[in-house]
Structure 1
Amino acid sequence: MKSRIRRRFPRKESQLGFQIAPMIDVVFVILLFFMVAAGNARMENALNTQLPGGATEINLPDDVVIRIAEDGQVYLNDEPQDHPERKDLKELADGVLQLKQASDSAGTSLLVTIEAEEQAKYERVVDVLDALTRAKVRDVTFMAGAFE
């Protein structure tokens, strides 16, 4: 029998390394795709739609919150007004009057909410109501419950 002798020749190792050129080509193709696709995009505000039903304008009332603290300090929309010892609350009346005039000129009504802390004196609530009367405010509500 003949035996075949195989000779093993040392193989030359080739160094392939990291090929960056094909990756750059792929990135440019993706970039080109998105640039072309962005040209066909429509802006959302460019689509004018009409909803069914009649459009009616609703004038919501301007909401003003007057808070009365336990120490007698009065806050108009979280801004302190007058001194806690002043009974006439002129600064509060003037501020509410300006808000009332602004809401009247805008064609809305002014809604005042009075929030009194649990230990606030009733006399101070009456002082606030007197100031609202001087400012010619008619829509007043009271908030019941604890502050947060």
Structure 2
Amino acid sequence: MSSKRKHKKASAEVNLGFQIAPMIDVVFVILLYFMVAAGSQQKENAHNTKLPGTVPPEGASEMPDEVTIMIEDDGQVYLNDDPLDSAEAKDLRELAGSLVQLKQASENANSKILVTVYANELAKYERVVDVLDALTRAKIVDVTFQAGAPE
């Protein structure tokens, strides 16, 4: 019996060392996975595009007319630093009339009119909508907005 105990004790003390075969199997499985996954990737196609060359302008290109509309905190509306209408006027007839004249002048000169609306931080949204209504009546579509005063 004592020999069996020694044999069990001896087999328990045997160090098998670092087994590399399972590690190689795992590496090959991972390599196989990436090879299969790389085959399903779509390749980018090259697009041959011809860029436009330089073409001399046919006529003198005119810069568009730029108009600024400022809306103050109290509701006063300024067109290019000129006050129009009273702060209480809802329909903004003077502003709409001036915008219609500017639109007609720009159409006669074959140029575009660009309008930038500057609204102060405390300006009422209702007043901004009133200005947009005046721009709609003048049929001006190129409008940008900026918060605060012009720089």
Give the whole-Å Cα distance in 2 for the aligned partners of 1:142 and 1:133: 15
Per the alignment, residue 78 of structure 2 pairs with 75
Aligned Cα RMSD in Å? 1.8
Per the alignment, residue 98 of structure 1 pairs with 101
Give the whole-Å Cα distance in 1 for the aligned partners of 2:100 and 2:107: 10
User: Structure 1 vs Structure 2: percent identity of aligned residues?
Assistant: 61
Structure 2 unaligned residues grouped into runs of 5+ = 1-54
What TM-score, normalized by structure 2, do the two folds share? 0.60
- Conserved 8 A contact 1:74-1:82: yes
Per the alignment, residue 54 of structure 1 pairs with 56
Q: Does 1:140 align with 2:143?
A: yes
* Misfit runs of 4+, over 2 Å: 53-57, 144-148
> What amino acid does structure 1 have at the position aligned with 2:66?
D
Q: Aligned to 2:136, what secondary structure does the other structure show?
A: helix
- Conserved 8 A contact 1:117-1:147: no
The number of residues matched between the two structures is 97
Per the alignment, residue 65 of structure 1 pairs with 68
The 5 A counterparts of 1:109-128 are 109-128=112-131
For residue 131 of structure 1, report the CA deviation from its aligned partner.
0.5
Deviation per CA, 1:39-64: give whole Å up to 9, x if none: xxxxxxxxxxxxxx734522221100
1:147/1:110 CA distance change after superposition, 3 Å: closer
Give the whole-Å Cα distance in 1 for the aligned partners of 2:150 and 2:96: 24
Give the whole-Å Cα distance in 2 for the aligned partners of 1:146 and 1:100: 24
For residue 146 of structure 1, report the CA deviation from its aligned partner.
4.6
